Amino acid sequence: MNGYGGKILRVNLTTGKITKEQTPADVARDFIGGRGFGAYFLYKEVPQGADPLGPDNKLIISSGPMSGLMIPGAGKCDFTTKSPLTGGYASASMGGHFTAEIKYAGLDSIILEGISPKPVYLFINDDKIELRDAKEFWGMGTISVEKQFKDKLGEEYQVAVIGPGGENVVPYACINHDFGRQAGRGGVGAVMGVKKVKAIVIHGTKSIPVSDTTAYRQAGKALYKACKDASFLAEWTRYGTTVVTSWCDEVGALPTRNFSAGSFEDGKNLYGSVMRDKIVITDKGCFGCPSPCGKYSRSKKYSSYVEGPEYETIGLMGSNLGISDIEAVAQANLLADDAGLDTISAGNAIGWAMECYENGIFTKTDTDGVDLRFGNVEATFELIGKISRKEGLGALLSEGVKKASQKIGKGSEKFAIHVKGMEQSAYATHNATAMLLAYMTCDVGAHHNRAWAITYDLQVGRDLVVPEKVARVIWLQNFRPMFDVLGGCRLQWVELGIDRDLYIPALEAITGIHRTWVDYEKVGERIWNLTRMFWARENNGFGRSWDLPAPRFYEEAPKSGATKGQITKIEDVHRLLDMYYEQRGWNKDGMPTPERLSALNLAELVA
């Protein structure tokens, strides 16, 4: 199949059996690849009620038809599983060079099944595929393990590895790659850890077949030219995602002290310009990227090197913890990366604990004797390690803010900032209704990347609750994740503003199939509805109440900053949902109607 590696690799960890099958043409037609393959295989193959940490759950790792080809940003890899954090659908996207290598090894997806009796790593060198003993690596940090594999096997091998967080099955453990790229969210690293897979190392030398080489080369060149001609290229490349830090602070979107406000009085010390001048040494790109947002940094203060911090980490491990030293944030980032923890969820968990301490819900008896006030850098470093080892207060925080707050009670549920059990990423949404709706309805929980609607809020009026806003969120949710389906990056479109129609001839030349963006968006809608059905299948009583945001955003206005005194009314939260469900073709409780499922060719799959 043009544009594809051509095979699905299945690794049964319980039996050690490794098999390959043809990538099914009908699945490629209806779900295309990447996140689409993940959603399809998850729904079809993971039995209803499967324990996320049991042998029936699977970890589905997929490239897409863009991956590894001459398309800007063709380096995104999808990791899909039933989430141990939320009990629902998890899909985490990882940049770097791993997804390209999957294709060069002649594969499209790697499906890990069962549970290995002992620590192993999966070794792939083209058609030589083996499970190997990982005893010597078990217990080690991600950076050291990746370095050892690179030294031993060479730079052409790509490595995805879990840290102690994944080994100890922290439900928000991540998977690390390329010394700083992560499949971060939803606990994909915990699933890999419970399966006892320390790492996947992969090397491929195969060329990816395309339908029309001349047209593909021409269309690929046009895409790169558009990126290089973009007026924002230089600034974007200089700051990467941290380009938004100052803007978020100014408009009240920068999570501050556990999302109690959206502006940080010391925020200036965390801005992209400060970080660039102080610590950034190298721009680091994912595969095929002409606009590398990765910033590789060196902290003199801590004598350490780390990729990042990204904006999300600055928000959650900086301002959200009352920390204003960019070098401290970089160090916290490094500790979390090495331990294999998602910085977004970990930052939320620590922020929640700090708030519990400041308002007397926790005393030093609960915090292992630590003065856990906002701004305590050393305590933050300490807690990252404790969470990864499930030790002391870290054991509670490792459960995520939803479960931790349910255990502790005393009103702490009100400032547990999550949707569906997934901690919110770094946009404070007290008064940004489209972004709030995006978080409420995101398919994995409170994550931003499906519909990054906050700039739209500011454009059209942040407190407006109108059908147009809802329509915008839905369109973004159908369109943006298509990049995760195609195995590429959305940021050339989002940040450089290149014409999305430039992708169409490139994709046609690669796959030989003509599709417009309307066609792709329909696939996006199909996947969105399928994952919604997965949530409902796996969770009794799933529906509207699961889509509600953290009470902080409708009950408790910030006392300072750009959004001081501003809040979204609970009536407006429900109006947003009413409009959203109606426009999606869902019923009043937020479930897809049989008619909608039929129209999306999903009726048979979900029957």
Partner 1 sequence: MQLYVDSTKCSGCNACRVACSLNLFGESNPKKSALVIKPHFPVPGVYEVKVCTQCGDCAAVCPEEAIKLNSKGAWYVDFDQCNLCEACVPECPEDVMFVRVELANAAWKCDLCGDCVDMCGTSALWIEEKETAGV
Enter the DSSP assignment of 491: H
Site string for partner 1, 451-470 (x = CB under 8 A): --------------------
Phi, psi for 353 (deg, rounded to 5): -65, -40
Residue 224 found at the interface with partner 1 (CB under 8 A):
yes
Per rule CB under 8 A, count of chain residues that contact partner 1: 45
Q: How far is the CB of 292 from partner 1 (least distance, A)?
A: 4
Residue 272 found at the interface with partner 1 (CB under 8 A):
no
From the list 5-13, 275-283, 361-369, 470-478, the region that binds partner 1 by CB under 8 A is 275-283
- Residue placing its CB nearer to partner 1 in the complex, 225 or 268: 225
Residue 494 found at the interface with partner 1 (CB under 8 A):
no
Dihedral, 580, 584, 586, 590 alpha carbons, nearest 10: -40
> Which 99-138 residues touch partner 1, going by CB under 8 A?
100, 104
- Strands across the sheet with 59-62, in order? 17-22, 7-12, 107-113, 59-62, 77-82, 89-94
From the list 96-104, 320-328, 397-405, 535-543, the region that binds partner 1 by CB under 8 A is 96-104
Enter the DSSP assignment of 207: P
In three-state secondary structure terms, 504 is helix
Indicate the residue type of 572: D
Q: How far is the CB of 144 from partner 1 (least distance, A)?
A: 9
Which one of 118, 221, 364, 373 is in contact with partner 1 (CB under 8 A)? Answer: 221
From the list 193-201, 218-226, 266-274, 365-373, the region that binds partner 1 by CB under 8 A is 218-226
Residue 207 found at the interface with partner 1 (CB under 8 A):
yes
Residue 209: is it exposed, middle or buried by C-beta count within 10 angstroms (0-12/13-18/19+)? Answer: middle
- Cα 134 to Cα 119, 124, 138, 157: the distances in Å are 5, 15, 6, 17
Indicate the residue type of 109: S
> Which 73-92 residues touch partner 1, going by CB under 8 A?
75
- Cα 331 to Cα 24, 93, 298, 383, 408: the distances in Å are 44, 23, 9, 13, 29
Which one of 29, 147, 414, 588 is in contact with partner 1 (CB under 8 A)? Answer: 147
- Residue placing its CB nearer to partner 1 in the complex, 446 or 498: 498
- Residue placing its CB nearer to partner 1 in the complex, 73 or 88: 73
Beta carbons of 210 and 197 less than 8 angstroms apart: no
Which one of 282, 406, 516, 601 is in contact with partner 1 (CB under 8 A)? Answer: 282
Q: Where are the alpha helices (DSSP H) in 271-325?
A: 272-278, 311-317
Helix (H) or strand (E) segment spanning residue 393: helix 393-397
Residue 525 found at the interface with partner 1 (CB under 8 A):
no
Beta carbons of 353 and 383 less than 8 angstroms apart: yes
Which one of 18, 115, 153, 233 is in contact with partner 1 (CB under 8 A)? Answer: 233
Q: How far is the CB of 542 from partner 1 (least distance, A)?
A: 41
Site residues, partner 1 (CB under 8 A): 68-70, 72, 75, 97, 100, 104, 143, 147, 155-156, 178-179, 205-208, 210, 213, 217, 220-221, 224-225, 227-228, 233, 237, 281-292, 294, 296, 298, 305
